[in-house]
Structure formats: structure tokens, C-alpha cells
Amino acid sequence: MQYISNKPHIMIIATGGTIAGKMNKTDSTTTNYTSGIYTIDTLLSSIPQIHSLAHIHTTQLCNIDSADMSDDIWLSLARCVNKTLSNTLYNAVIITHGTDTMEESAFFLHLVCKSHKPIIFTGAMRAFDSIDWDGGKNLYSALLLAIHRDSQKRGVMLCMNDRILSARYASKIHTSSLESFASPCDLGYIANGAVNFHASCGVLHQPMFDTEMIESLPRVDILYSYANDGSSIAAKALFSNGTQGLVIAGSGAGSVHEVHKQTLQSLIKQGLCVVISSRINQGSVYISEVDSQNGFISSGDLNPQKARVLLTLALTQSNNPLQIATFFYT
């Protein structure tokens, strides 16, 4: 195995999630638990093997269910990661996180973190005190990935169930299976304690935004398209209550009900930024030239939740649809 020489220093930043969850002792199901109960130090006490690989440092940033993840925590997390990795002592950062919004938090950091050192998200699909807790193995695998010398310059990665995924492409595909994340092209895998990268699946990491001086993020929401979706009540209500951007999870390749689209066009003229994505989990969205001229923006191959992250950050730079569109084409 090819690892960084000497014993590296790894910072683990904990945010809660199922990996730190506590089971209801009267129930043996996999879903009856409370996320974000145990601290990172408690989790690490159950896997002493990790200390033979690296000097472990910990920060408990928060301890929440990732469904409660907020812009404020994202900004704090980004500052914490950037500050940590600017210190020459640290070789990498591992972030423990709930799986429900892991792909969004990981993509956010992928867009704003400046370091080329490894940044790795991991979590669990079973609570800490359950009989089949997978968090220990995921943490150990994430550490193997963090200290591997070829993990540099790959942007933010996810390490779940021995799969290595880019934050740019990873998405959660199952509500409860241990095999809960996938991507069109995995970066690699871990087997028998060895990290293996696929030679053909590199991701060029180019942070696009600087959030160091940003205290709050623009409000961006997602609306789901469906049959008979013609009232436009939700879009109007969101805009009137301060939403600056909307991502439409369109049907098929980004189709939107004609009446709804007319309302969105009117709101665009009033300053709303609208990105068209798809509720389908594979493929890309290509909008027509007419839609582009009317101010709509294509999400490309980004799913709605990732398109929302990018639109949120893009709105910190501009509210011009043409300029914002360039971020989605980069």
C-alpha cells in the first residue's frame, strides 16, 4: 500500500447523522432510532484500530439529523475545513455526516473548499448501537482513503460501503440499504485494506466560490413537476416570500406544464432565477433555445438537489441568468 510517509495527522469533523444515532432499545428495526446522539469520540472508542494508521484529531461541529442541515452549518463547515487544511500539520479531513443530505453538503464543499488535500465524507445506514452498525467500517475505510497518497487533488469524495465516489456525481439511491450511494463512474473502491483508484475516472477539482466572507446564503427552493401541475401557486408563494432562485424538478428531460412555465417566465422577468432539472435519476437536461432566451437555465447532468446547491452559490455572484448559466456549463 502506498501511503504518505510518517504517521499522518487527520482531522475528523463530526456533524451527527445515523452514524452517531441511538436505537430505541424496545425495537429491533433499522429505522427506529434518533440521529446525532453520540459524540465522535464515543464512535472512535469502538474502533481503536484507526490509531495505528494516523494521529486522529476531532471536532464536533454539530450533532444533528442531516435532514436539519442548514446554510449556517454549511458555511461553518466550509470555514472549518479550509482553516484546518491551511494548517501544514493536517494531511486530510474526514467529515461524518447523515446520509440524507450528504450528497448536498459534499457538493457544497466541493465547490468552495480550496485545498487539494483529501476531503472525505462518510456516514452510516445503521445507528451506532445497532447490531449491524456499518459506521465503524466506513470510518476505517475513509481513513485508509484519507492517508493514501493518490487521494490528493480529487476534490471532495464520499466513502461509503467501500465505494469511493466524487461529490460531483454521487447520489443516494436507496432509503435503507447499506449500498445506498452510487454514481455514473466511481472513483475507486477499497478491498482487503487497500485503496484502488480507477485510472479512467478522474475529477478535476476547481473550487468555484469563496464563502469566507459570506454570512448568509440566498434562498433557493425546489419544486417538483407532476401531471396536472398547472396552478403555479407554490412558485408564486415562494417568490413573494423571498425565494431568489427555483430549481424545477421537471418530468422526463426537464418538461414543465405549459401554464406553470408561463408563470415562471413572468417571475423571471421580476427577478426570479429558474433552473430546470429533472426528477429522473439518470440523463441530462437540455433546454430549447427559446427557453434559454426566456431566461431558463439548464442544470445539465445535475440532479435537483445538486442544482440547488450550485444555484445558491451562483446567486452570491450574480442574479443575471446568462452569467449564472455559465456556472452550470463549467
Alpha-carbon gap, residue 301 to 284, rounded angstroms: 4
Strands 9-16 and 181-182: unpaired
C-alpha cell at 241: 416570500
Backbone angles phi, psi at 296, to 5 degrees: -75, 150
Backbone angles phi, psi at 267, to 5 degrees: -70, -35
What is the SS3 assignment for 85? helix
Alpha-carbon gap, residue 123 to 16, rounded angstroms: 9
Q: CB–CB of 134/46 below 8 Å? A: no
Strands 163-166 and 171-172: unpaired
Beta bridge partners of 250: 278
Kindly list the catalytic residues. Answer: 18
Strands 33-34 and 22-23: antiparallel
What is the SS3 assignment for 50? helix
Q: What strands lie across the sheet with 92-96, from one edge to the other?
A: 55-64, 9-16, 92-96, 119-122, 156-160, 163-166, 188-191, 194-197
End-to-end CA distance of the chain: 35
Q: CB–CB of 157/48 below 8 Å? A: no
DSSP string, 195-260: EEE-TT-----------TT------EEEEE--TT----HHHHHHHHTT--EEEEEEBTTTB--HHH
